[in-house]
Amino acid sequence: MRLNIIIGGKAGQGINKVSKIVSNVLANYGYFTFNYRDYQSLIRGGHNFNVISISDTLIESHEAIADILVALDERMVEVHKQVLRKEGVMISADQFKDAGRNLNVALAGALIKILGVPMLELENEIKSQFKELSESIVFAKKGFDSQQSLYNLKKLNNKPSILSGSEAVAIGARNSGLDLHISYPMTPATNVMNELAKNQVEDKLMVFQAENEIAVANMALGASFAGAKVMTGTSGGGFDLMGEALSLQGISEIPLTVYLASRPGPGTGVPTYTAQSDLDIALRAGHGEFPRFVLAPGNPVEAIEKTSEALFLAEKFQTLSIILGDKHLAESEFSSVESSAKTPKFKITRKIPGNNIVKASSYEVDEFGNSTESSVLAEKNANARVEKYNQSKKFIEKNFEMIKIHGKKDSKNLIIGWGSTSGAIKDSIKDLDAKFLQVLYMKPLSPQVKKEMEKASKIILVECNVTGQLGRLIREKTGIKIENRFLKYNGRPFCSDELKKLIGGVL
């Protein structure tokens, strides 16, 4: 069973609130949901919409077709009416003109009635969210009574929880005992900063907003040098500004973890939309040659795990860890019954100032930490950095999950992708003769990638960027060029139904 609801209108009309209420009601009723948010860079006005997908089995994507439209204004009708199924339903906010601030609960009531969910389920959700209950429940009941039940959903025994990618990154950081998060607000990375700031006193950590990303990265290195577990967060433009500090990390070997949430570029691009176009800079930002790790989770459970792994690896090998996400992962809301316990605990065991004499420099140094221009030492230090990366790669291959295989494990048709696109790929191949290789570590790249490719008779690459950046990385590391590629780069993620047609056409 799968249904898709599109809720749309102007920014400021409560679209997210309706989506949140309905998603929570459905999760409590045992159903899995996926909530995709599409919004413009406007505080008021414009055209925003959410797509809530509902299923009795796990889903991690939305579809282009709609079963129900909820229109908060006329533009919503004009933009989306062509994707409504012939037997689909449209709910107009005009039916509840007297609802005022209770419009969102009235619309939620109308929706759950169409789905066949009892009113009591909505009442329980309203009681958990609103202080002034009587009026809210009156309008929720009015919305509920305005519709006929069409789908008659039965209560299921599943108990899914709902998380966004941003919430998950914050959980992973807290699980690892984060001391300090330094950031400058930039969509879509800001929500991690906000999540960590909510209960920072209770969580025994500090969130600090610096004046720009140059300051952020350098302050993070200073705090890490002093012995703190530190993470920073930004998007592409801010990450560019951090480039020199990343190189400073490479030679000073002060642990640093960066959460990079991608959005379309170049420049400001379309800043509230999504892209997987920053893989190249994650792999190569900063002058000179030095070790780093680049991890790319595809859903909140993976985001919790990979954030913890990134912080652990940065500390263990005193290097740079980059958690690579994007707007689609950061702001979409996933439901899951899977819990993540794979969060490596660790303590800082390196020497820190106060207890020892510790030196850090942007210059090459001798064994005592003094600056040097010796050609012998320059070569020795460069070799040591390479050897450290080789050792860390062996450690990661032994201890952490670098790839995942989904779908039909014995299929000769191989789909390759990464990050937030993995949800649409997994959902699109459920009825196809295909298996999906999800790359979780971009650097180092698992040797299993080449082995899986050599077993396949047909390979398809799926990415949300113009040039197929993962495909280019794979060719660099394996020598194998992927000819079949589906690349989307208009700021919108893949819908699983459109991707199923594309992949099915090639297979």
Q: What is the pLDDT at residue 51?
A: 98
In sign, the C-alpha dihedral spanning 481, 487, 489, 495 is negative
Strand partners, 2: 55
Cβ count near 400 (within 10 Å):
19
Share of the chain above pLDDT 70, in %: 99
pLDDT per residue as tens digits for the range 99-122 = 888 999 999 999 999 999 999 999
Tell me the domains of the chain and their CATH numbers.
2-158 (3.40.920.10), 163-399 (3.40.50.970), 403-506 (3.40.50.920)
Task: Residue 480: name the closest of 506, 504, 445 by CA.
Answer: 445
> 12 and 73 in contact (C-beta within 8 Å)?
no
Number of residues assigned to the chain: 507
Cβ count near 56 (within 10 Å):
14
Mean pLDDT of 190-202: 97
Task: Residue 467: name the closest of 488, 441, 498, 442 by CA.
Answer: 488
For residue 195 the two structure tokens come to 């999540």
Question: What's the one-letter identity of residue 85?
Answer: R
> 54 and 3 in contact (C-beta within 8 Å)?
yes
Q: Do the bridges between strand 2-11 and strand 45-55 make them parallel or antiparallel, or are there none, so unpaired?
A: antiparallel
Q: Which residue has the higher pLDDT, 345 or 292?
A: 292
The Cα 394–Cα 448 span in angstroms is: 13
User: How high does pLDDT run on average in the chain?
Assistant: 96
pLDDT per residue as tens digits for the range 121-138 = 999 999 988 876 778 999
> 231 and 181 in contact (C-beta within 8 Å)?
yes
Mean pLDDT of 181-185: 98
Q: What is the pLDDT at residue 341?
A: 59
Mean pLDDT of 431-440: 98
> 36 and 76 in contact (C-beta within 8 Å)?
no
DSSP per-residue string spanning 395-436:
HHHHHS--EEEEE-TT-SEEEEEETTHHHHHHHHTTTSS-EE
> 482 and 471 in contact (C-beta within 8 Å)?
yes
The Cα 373–Cα 375 span in angstroms is: 6
Which of 91-100, 284-293, 443-452 comes out lowest in average pLDDT? 91-100
Which of 204-218, 236-250, 340-354 comes out lowest in average pLDDT? 340-354
The Cα 436–Cα 423 span in angstroms is: 11
pLDDT score of 76 more than 80: yes
Q: How many CA atoms lie within 13 A of 170 on its CB side?
A: 24
Residue 76, classed as helix, strand or coil, is helix
For residue 216 the two structure tokens come to 């952020």
227: left (phi over 0), alpha (psi -120 to 50) or beta: left
Q: What is the pLDDT at residue 489?
A: 98
Question: What's the one-letter identity of residue 407?
Answer: G
Q: Is the peptide bond prior to 266 cis by the omega test (within 30 degrees of 0)?
A: yes
How distant, in Å, are the alpha carbons of 67, 217, 365 from that of 314? 46, 15, 21
Q: What is the pLDDT at residue 65?
A: 97
Mean pLDDT of 239-256: 98
Q: What is the pLDDT at residue 294?
A: 98
How distant, in Å, are the alpha carbons of 24, 434, 455, 475, 486 from that of 413? 37, 5, 9, 18, 15
The Cα 38–Cα 274 span in angstroms is: 10
DSSP per-residue string spanning 343-383:
-------S--BTTB-----SS-B-TTS-B---HHHHHHHHH
DSSP state of 389: H
The Cα 284–Cα 443 span in angstroms is: 10
Mean pLDDT of 208-228: 98
Which residue is associated with the tokens 């941003």?
166
